Amino acid sequence: MTAIGVFALQGNVREHLAMLTEVGVDAVPVRRPAELARVDALVLPGGESTTMDKLARSFELFEPLQKRIADGMPVFGTCAGMIMLADEITGGISGQETLGGLDVTVRRNAFGRQVDSFEADLEFAAFDTPYHAVFIRAPWVERVGQDVEVLSTVRSGPAAGRIVAVRHDRLLATSFHPEMTGDARLHGYFAELVRGL
């Protein structure tokens, strides 16, 4: 069976494992390099990217993760996980680094204090009906590289037009938390991507 790991040092781990199980893959928490080596793909959950960066280093996962990404492992980064996947970030703290791999610039905490957390219905070409998305101190994508596909943008309000879901080949990233609403379509989309390789 396809095994998809969830980076489990920090963030919304249990919820992602449940959604992955729902879409029929073997869902595995990843805390050590040996666990990373056993999975076909990985979810980087929401949480706090500065903490994830530090913990990935102290648990000696940072370099193995970068190597797997460079070798083509599919990764789904959500919220802080999107930040971790970005080649470039703005609004990071001093010394903050990302794993990189995704040719985008992501702004941390982009939606500002007024709307630190909010919900919105998003359109995805792959889905027949809107996807209800929960944003928590969320980033947005400010620049996309040539080969990066924009999957969804905010439709209305002060942040209308902001990019909140992207894909480049095997890397998928959302500004919001797809594990929190019980809608497994994005996990299903990712699982299909992994199974199709």
Cβ(172)–Cβ(193) below 8 Å: yes
Residue 77: CB minimum distance to ligand GLN, A: 10
The single residue of 16, 79, 168, 187 carrying the catalytic annotation is 79
What's the Cα-to-Cα distance from 6 to each of 47, 82, 125, 138, 190, rounded to whole Å?
A: 12, 14, 26, 19, 13
Q: Which is nearer to ligand GLN, 113 or 128 (CB)?
A: 113
Residue 175 is assigned to a ligand binding site = no
168 included as an active-site residue: no
Residue 11: CB minimum distance to ligand GLN, A: 7
Q: Which is nearer to ligand GLN, 46 or 101 (CB)?
A: 46
The single residue of 15, 16, 168, 177 carrying the catalytic annotation is 177
| Residue 14 main-chain phi, psi, to 5 deg | -60, -40
80: nearest Cα among 139, 31, 132: 139
What's the Cα-to-Cα distance from 121 to each of 77, 102, 128, 156, rounded to whole Å?
A: 19, 25, 13, 10
179 included as an active-site residue: yes
Active-site positions read: 79, 177, 179
Numbered residues of the known binding site for L-glutamine: 47-49, 108, 136-137
Numbered residues of the known binding site: 47-49, 108, 136-137
